[in-house]
Structure 1
Amino acid sequence: MNQNSSKGFLIALSTIRAWLVIVAAVWLLGAIGLGWLVKSFFALIGIILLAPVAIFVGVRWWIQRNLVQGQCPVCASPLAGLNKTQMRCPNCNEPIKVEHKHFSRLTPPGTIDVQAVEVGARTLEE
């Protein structure tokens, strides 16, 4: 008699027995009116599977809406920051304010910020 074939049969029988117990438990819960428990379990599994996808899509949409890319108004180096925040330029260390998808220099109250325009020198002849 071959000992290996009876071992394979026992392993297959234990696998079938495990599936039969699961099916019988689900059928019993449905038969005695605890189907809501099974439905709740499957709903929980569905939420667990769909939540990461929804979170990924939501975070991506939020970042796309609030990420501002541009240049520093002081040194013109490239910057990236979140809308409605304050930051410092990594190049010139100047405080920068991000508002309305635009970078502007953050000045203390009472400071008048002007932009200088370079004018070429001309000599006047008399």
Structure 2
Amino acid sequence: MNQGTPKISLKLPAVSNWLVLLLIACVLVSIGLGWVVKSILILVGFLLLTPVVAFFGLQWWLKRNLVEGNCPVCQYELTALNQTQCQCVNCGELLKVEQGIFSRLTPPGTIDVTAVEVSSVQQLED
């Protein structure tokens, strides 16, 4: 196509690649490599400490937010997170967990009544 334009091609021997690398190394050494080494050490330290901090942080969070108690309907032992809603696996009752206590999840306006068993042996005294 462009027959009049000559192609420029540099074919340098393999030694020139090593000279370029040596020149880059000399420039980096003259600038100082302390910041590179410190950055790598900080990164490695961060990568080693992050899982440890996450492990202990998760344990602390679970101790504060994991609630164990009984279902108010069937007394089945449950475990749930604080400030959540769950369903009893035994009776299927919808429950909410507030301040570490399981309570029934009822629509607004519903009055929850606790039945008290009265013995029929008692007699009224005159």
TM-score by length of 1: 0.72
What corresponds to 1:77 in structure 2? Answer: 76
Q: CA deviation at 1:115?
A: 0.3
Matches of 2:123 and 2:30, distance apart in 1: 104
**What residue number does 1:52 align with?**
51
List runs of 5+ in structure 1 lacking aligned partners: 1-25
Higher helix share: 1
CA distance in 2 between counterparts of 1:31 and 1:102 reads 67
Which of the pair has more CA radius of gyration? 2
Report what 2:113 is aligned to.
114
Deviates more, 1:31-40 or 1:76-85: 31-40
Does the CA-based 8 Å contact 1:67-1:82 persist in structure 2? yes
- Structure 2 unaligned residues grouped into runs of 5+: 1-24
Return the alpha-carbon distance in structure 2 between the equivalents of residues 65 and 36 of structure 1.
41
Following superposition of structure 1 onto structure 2, how do residues 94-109 of structure 1 map, counting pairs within 5 Å?
94-109=93-108
Equivalent-residue separation in structure 2 for 1:120 and 1:98 (angstroms) = 33
One-letter amino acid of the counterpart of residue 106, structure 2: T
Contact 1:68 1:80 survives alignment (8 Å) = yes
Residue 33 of structure 2 aligns to which amino acid in structure 1? L
Q: Following the alignment from structure 1 to structure 2, what is the Cα–Cα distance between the partners of residues 77 and 31?
A: 72
| Identity between Structure 1 and Structure 2 (%) | 58
Question: Distance between the aligned counterparts of 1:30 and 1:102, measured in 2?
Answer: 65
What amino acid sits opposite 1:97 in the alignment? K
Partners of 2:45 and 2:28 lie apart in 1 by 20
The runs of at least 4 aligned residues of structure 1 exceeding 4 Å deviation read 28-31, 122-126
| Alignment size in residue pairs | 101
Equivalent in the alignment of 1:63: 62
User: What's the secondary structure of 2:62's corresponding residue?
Assistant: helix
